Structure formats: structure tokens, C-alpha cells
């Protein structure tokens, strides 16, 4: 399988020496770091060594690569192969380097021309028979290739739809290693990844608000929460509908914008959760981890950092049911991402960050038995037991939740009534209009955020336009309830959202009153 394109190899001590360098990349969080796959092949005792801080999955590439090359008739039994993954002081993980290593060997032994692989990023996992399997993180890695000036990329066929979201890069798709080799030799070009059309979808399978009887206050809180992307805590005995209401939140959220979809797709791709048949996340994510989740599972972690649930719910909903049952360490780890909208993970050899801006919704019982304050059932918990139970929720965590709502049991006559409540479609229309108003303020340069939940205090004071009565009411609430500066800002944010839902330019005293009412449970019954 000699090639007329290959340069004659240099020699050291009479032995032929083949050198090659192929472009690849490694993921550190959402950041794609360029990796140069340097290959040296010499005639002599056969061995295959791989250096450059490769983790287990990368080290095992030599077995997959050797088998895949053998299917092409290229046997490595007569070669001493050394592969260096540069920079050597950065840890590399995953199987996406397989294709680059195989192509580098083919160039080094003269079976493929170096010109055919220049300025090309190679991504793909090899099976033993030479077929290419999809890999995670293709979208951020292709963006990284654009950033460093590469002109082309080769990815597996199953990643074609994801790769089609990248513009400005000549992306080719391959099903097997032999196709990549023929393309490098100039004999048969690989097909291009076509642009992936984006058609957003509304959340489905969650039900409709029209099916929920009663709970007018909780449904109003849900609407405010959706309109301004505010965090929500629901407190009440079991059976009141807390979980049902939380799961209905996606039904009143507007569809993802294209920019939001791309951000969400990158996170899910890096986590290995992206459906190859879709290529792009088209609906807002809804994540509801079990209370046994660890802190790393909730906010992300690992030796090579992966996103956690709070990042996987980015631009969607993160729902924690039975909040007091979660590990204290996991809940406290949420404090920073809920405040900053991103999570930073630092390891000895890796530093990664992930966006984390979901709508955080939590549900909790008022006591261990769940029936404290129930109108018909008697609570069997004593006061110390209730205090111990609720003390699992720290003040700083509660301070980061904008709306605290009591969800009481629904009366039987309400459940048996025939009248239907307002459908999700009508509520979603109001939410979309409120979000449009918020976005128009950013477009006009008044604020830097698209949703009220992320406005800074200076921006809030600029866009609320409080009159004398509203200012007086806010001052009284801060003094009497002992609200922190953070809680004060959150009251203003919620009031601005309520005003947006009303179509009001200025925040009135009635809007402030409703926002303050949503903070009363910050003191009772949780305190």
C-alpha cells in the first residue's frame, strides 16, 4: 500500500524514520484544547507506546487502532510506534483521539500523504473493524478548531447533525477508517456535513395546567417564576400537588431560542447525552435528580470535569423534590451556581467551567411526617424534630430562592368540580410576552440580562421606576422582615416581573406587595 504522495523517510543509523503530526483536541469542561498527535515509526522490534498524560481510555487506543489498521492490511508487527500527545503536561481523556492516532500512523509509515491531512481536525472513536463511532463534545471541539484557524475537520457519520450546527468550517463525515484514507489520498472525497435546520419544540409529555384543580396561588407563582426565570420553593404536606406543579412548569415556558439551543447542546454533548439523531437540543431540559445524588453529580466534577445536573438543566428546569432529604453538602454546593449562573470546577490538573442558569424549583414538606399545618391530619412531630428537619435548609440557600409558596391540600369539592382551569397555552402566551418585554430592555441598552432574575441591583433601580408608595413599602418590608441585601434585590426582581406580566412600565406598590408576600415564608413556617 505504498503512496506516491509520501515523502521518502529520513534515516537514523541506517533505519528509516517516519514522522507525522495530526491535529486533534481534548475537552476540559466546555473548552476544547488543541492536541498535536505526534507519531514516530521506525523499523525494528515491534512495540506501540503512547505518552502525553493519556488516561485509560486513550491508552487503550493502541489496541483499537492496531486492529482497525489491520483490517486495512496495515500490520504494525514490523514497526516501533511512538505516539506523543502534546502538550504533554495536560491530561487527555475519552476515545475521540483514536482517528487522529490512526491517521498519524498512516502518514508516518507513508500510507497517506501529509498534505491530505494538513489543517484538518480528526475526531472519532474506532471500532476493532475500523468503523467510526460517535464521540461526545463534537460541537465545542469544532468551535475550538475554528478558533485556532483550522480549515477542515473529519467527524463520524453519527455526529453529522451535531457538526452541521457549526458554520465556517469544512466538516466532512466518515463511516470508517478506509474512507478517511481514500479521502486523504485524494481518491474519493468524504461527504460534507450539511447545515442542521433548527426547529424549536414546545415541551411535551408534562401535562397541562388546565388539569390542576385549585392551587391558584401556586399557579400564579409558577407563572411569575416562568416569566422572569425566578427560583421557586413550594412548601406543604404530601398530596397537595407540589410535584405535579413543578413538572408542569416546562409547559408554560417559551421554546428555546437558537442561541439557547446551541449552549444547551454543547453541555449535553460534552456529557454524552446528546441524541445523534437530533443533533441539537430542541426542547428546554427538565432535570429531576433523586435526593441520593452526590454533590459532584449535582454541580459537576470528576478528575476530568463533567457537567452536573445544574448545568444539564441550563435554560430549563432543575427540580429537587423532597429538598430536605438531599445531602447538606450537595445543597450547599448549589449556592454559588444559583448566584453566579455558572459553576467552576478546579482539579490538580484541570480547571473547567460550565454554565448553570436553570429555573431552580424545589419542593419540601414542613416536617418529617409532612402534616404540620394540615387542616385535617394531625402532625406527630415535636418542635425539636421539626426544627432539625428544616435546619437542613440553610439560610444562605433559602436567600437565593426568589419565591416561597405554601401549597395547601386541595378541598374535595374542588377536586370533584367540573370546571377546567386556565390552559398552559394561554399562560405561556403571557409568559412569552413578559419575556419579550424584558428582552427589549436589553436590546435598548437599559440592562445586560435577558431575564429579570439576573438583573444587577443598579439595573433594577434603573428599570423599576418605583414611586413614593412603592419605595415606602419596600423599606417597611426590609425592616420588618429583616431581609438581606440579596433578598431585597430579589424582591425588586420579582416585582419587575409581575409588572411585566401586567404590561406596566413602572413597578407599583401592588407589584411590590405581591413580591413581598412571596418572601413571607422565608420567615414562616421555615423559621
C-alpha cell at 61: 487506543
Residue 437 reports pLDDT greater than 70: yes
- Give the pLDDT of residue 461: 85
Residue 175 DSSP SS3: coil
Residue 36 reports pLDDT greater than 90: yes
If you average pLDDT over residues 21-38, what whole number do you get? 95
Residue 263 reports pLDDT greater than 90: yes
Cβ-based neighbours of 348, under 8 Å, separated by 6 or more: none
CA 450/CA 427 separation, integer angstroms: 20
Three-state SS for 331-345 is HHHCHHHHHHCEEEE
Q: Give percent helix, percent strand, percent coil of the chain, each to the nearest 5.
A: 40, 20, 40
- Per the prediction, the chain carries an average pLDDT of 90
If you average pLDDT over residues 216-231, what whole number do you get? 95
Backbone φ, ψ for residue 237 (5° rounding): -70, 165
- Give the pLDDT of residue 141: 97
Cβ-based neighbours of 47, under 8 Å, separated by 6 or more: 80, 81
CA 360/CA 356 separation, integer angstroms: 10
Residue 306 DSSP SS3: strand
Residue 303: HSE in the Cβ half-sphere, 13 Å Cα cutoff: 9
Specify the domain boundaries for CATH 3.40.50.300 within the chain: 209-442
pLDDT more than 90, % of the chain: 69
- Give the pLDDT of residue 45: 87
Angle, alpha carbons 421-422-424 (nearest 5°): 120
Provide the whole-model pTM.
0.90
- Give the pLDDT of residue 31: 92
Could you tell me the pLDDT band of residue 412, with boundaries at 50, 70 and 90? low
**CA distance readout (Å), 25 to 92, 120, 144:** 9, 11, 8
If you average pLDDT over residues 142-147, what whole number do you get? 96
If you average pLDDT over residues 370-380, what whole number do you get? 88
Burial 389-413, CB ≥16 within 10 A → b, else e:
bbeebeeebbbbbbbbbbbbbeeee
Could you tell me the pLDDT band of residue 13, with boundaries at 50, 70 and 90? very low
- Return the number of other C-beta atoms located less than 10 Å from residue 246's C-beta: 25
Specify the domain boundaries for CATH 3.30.230.10 within the chain: 10-192
Most confidently modeled of 5-9, 387-391, 406-410, 429-433? Answer: 429-433
Residue at grid coordinates 406580566: 501
Q: Please name which of 182, 127, 185, 128 lies closest in space to residue 156, comparing C-alpha atoms.
A: 127
If you average pLDDT over residues 203-217, what whole number do you get? 84
CATH code: domain 10-192 is 3.30.230.10
Angle, alpha carbons 409-415-416 (nearest 5°): 150
Residue 21 reports pLDDT greater than 90: yes
Weakest-pLDDT range from 116-130, 221-235, 370-384: 370-384
CATH number 3.40.50.300 given to 209-442: yes
**CA distance readout (Å), 47 to 41, 77, 82, 99:** 10, 8, 8, 19
Could you tell me the pLDDT band of residue 17, with boundaries at 50, 70 and 90? low
- Give the pLDDT of residue 417: 66
- Give the pLDDT of residue 279: 93
In the DSSP assignment, the letter for residue 97 is T
If you average pLDDT over residues 143-159, what whole number do you get? 96
Residue 266 DSSP SS3: helix
In the DSSP assignment, the letter for residue 359 is E
- Give the pLDDT of residue 454: 92
For helices 177-184 and 61-71, angle between their N-to-C axes, nearest 10 degrees: 70
CA 177/CA 59 separation, integer angstroms: 19
- Give the pLDDT of residue 43: 83
Could you tell me the pLDDT band of residue 69, with boundaries at 50, 70 and 90? very high
If you average pLDDT over residues 185-205, what whole number do you get? 91
Weakest-pLDDT range from 454-458, 461-465, 479-483: 479-483
If you average pLDDT over residues 332-337, what whole number do you get? 94
- Give the pLDDT of residue 347: 81
Weakest-pLDDT range from 110-114, 158-162, 520-524: 520-524
Could you tell me the pLDDT band of residue 521, with boundaries at 50, 70 and 90? low
Q: Please name which of 150, 185, 186, 198 lies closest in space to residue 171, comparing C-alpha atoms.
A: 150
Q: Please name which of 102, 112, 111, 129 lies closest in space to residue 39, comparing C-alpha atoms.
A: 102
CA 143/CA 204 separation, integer angstroms: 31
If you average pLDDT over residues 231-235, what whole number do you get? 95
If you average pLDDT over residues 179-195, what whole number do you get? 95
If you average pLDDT over residues 345-369, what whole number do you get? 91
Could you tell me the pLDDT band of residue 495, with boundaries at 50, 70 and 90? very high
**242 compared with 215, residue with greater pLDDT:** 242
Residue 7 reports pLDDT greater than 60: no
Q: Please name which of 343, 326, 342 lies closest in space to residue 288, comparing C-alpha atoms.
A: 326
Weakest-pLDDT range from 343-347, 413-417, 519-523: 519-523
Amino acid at each position: 500500500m505504498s503512496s506516491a504522495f509520501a515523502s521518502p523517510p529520513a534515516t537514523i543509523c541506517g533505519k528509516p524514520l517516519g514522522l507525522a503530526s495530526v491535529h486533534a483536541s481534548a475537552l476540559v469542561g466546555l473548552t476544547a484544547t488543541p492536541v498535536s498527535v505526534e507519531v514516530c515509526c521506525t523499523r525494528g522490534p515491534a512495540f506501540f507506546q503512547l505518552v502525553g498524560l493519556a488516561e485509560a481510555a486513550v491508552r487503550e487506543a493502541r489496541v483499537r487502532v492496531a486492529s482497525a489498521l489491520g483490517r486495512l492490511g496495515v500490520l504494525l508487527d514490523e514497526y516501533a510506534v511512538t505516539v506523543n500527545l502534546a502538550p504533554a503536561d495536560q491530561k487527555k481523556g475519552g476515545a475521540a483521539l483514536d482517528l487522529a492516532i490512526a491517521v498519524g500512523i498512516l502518514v508516518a509509515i507513508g500510507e497517506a500523504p501529509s498534505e491530505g491531512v494538513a489543517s484538518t481536525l480528526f475526531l472519532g472513536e474506532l471500532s476493532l473493524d475500523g468503523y467510526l463511532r460517535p464521540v461526545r463534545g463534537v460541537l465545542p471541539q469544532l468551535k475550538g478548531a475554528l478558533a485556532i484557524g483550522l480549515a477542515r475537520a473529519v467527524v463520524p457519520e453519527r455526529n453529522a447533525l451535531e457538526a452541521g450546527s457549526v458554520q465556517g468550517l469544512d466538516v466532512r463525515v466518515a463511516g470508517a477508517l478506509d474512507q478517511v484514507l481514500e479521502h486523504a489520498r485524494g481518491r474519493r472525497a468524504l461527504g460534507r456535513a450539511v447545515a442542521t435546520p433548527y426547529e424549536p419544540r414546545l415541551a411535551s409529555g408534562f401535562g397541562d395546567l388546565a388539569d390542576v384543580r385549585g392551587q391558584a396561588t401556586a399557579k400564579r407563582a409558577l407563572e411569575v417564576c416562568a416569566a422572569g426565570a425566578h427560583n421557586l420553593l413550594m412548601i406543604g404536606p404530601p398530596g397537595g400537588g407540589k410535584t405535579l406543579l413543578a413538572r408542569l412548569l416546562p409547559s408554560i415556558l417559551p421554546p428555546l431560542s437558537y442561541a439557547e439551543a446551541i449552549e444547551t447542546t454543547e453541555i449535553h454533548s460534552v456529557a454524552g447525552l446528546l441524541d445523534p439523531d437530533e443533533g441539537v437540543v430542541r426542547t428546554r431540559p427538565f432535570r429531576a435528580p433523586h435526593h441520593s445524588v452526590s454533590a459532584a453529580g449535582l454541580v459537576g466534577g470528576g478528575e476530568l470535569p463533567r457537567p452536573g445536573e445544574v448545568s444539564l438543566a441550563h435554560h430549563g428546569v432543575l427540580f429537587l423534590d423532597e429538598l430536605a432529604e438531599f445531602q447538606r453538602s450537595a445543597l450547599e454546593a448549589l449556592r454559588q451556581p444559583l448566584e453566579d449562573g455558572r459553576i467552576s470546577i478546579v482539579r490538580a490538573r484541570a480547571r473547567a467551567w460550565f454554565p448553570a442558569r436553570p429555573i431552580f424549583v424545589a419542593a419540601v414538606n414542613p416536617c418529617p411526617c409532612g402534616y404540620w399545618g394540615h387542616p385535617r391530619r394531625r402532625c406527630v412531630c415535636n418542635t425539636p424534630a421539626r426544627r432539625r428537619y428544616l435546619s437542613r435548609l440553610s439560610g444562605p440557600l433559602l436567600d437565593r430562592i426568589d419565591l416561597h409558596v405554601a401549597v395547601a391540600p386541595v378541598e374535595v369539592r374542588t377536586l370533584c368540580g367540573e370546571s377546567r382551569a386556565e390552559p398552559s397555552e394561554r399562560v405561556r402566551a403571557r409568559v412569552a410576552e413578559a419575556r419579550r418585554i424584558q428582552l427589549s430592555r436589553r436590546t435598548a441598552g437599559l440592562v445586560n440580562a435577558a431575564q429579570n432574575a439576573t438583573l444587577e441591583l443598579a439595573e433594577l433601580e434603573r428599570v423599576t421606576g418605583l414611586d413614593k408608595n412603592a419605595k415606602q413599602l419596600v423599606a417597611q418590608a426590609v425592616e420588618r422582615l429583616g431581609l438581606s441585601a440579596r433578598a431585597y434585590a430579589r424582591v425588586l426582581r420579582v416585582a419587575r416581573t409581575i409588572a411585566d406580566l401586567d404590561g406596566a412600565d413602572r413597578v407599583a406598590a401592588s407589584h411590590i406587595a405581591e413580591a413581598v408576600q412571596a418572601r413571607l415564608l422565608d420567615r414562616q413556617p421555615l423559621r
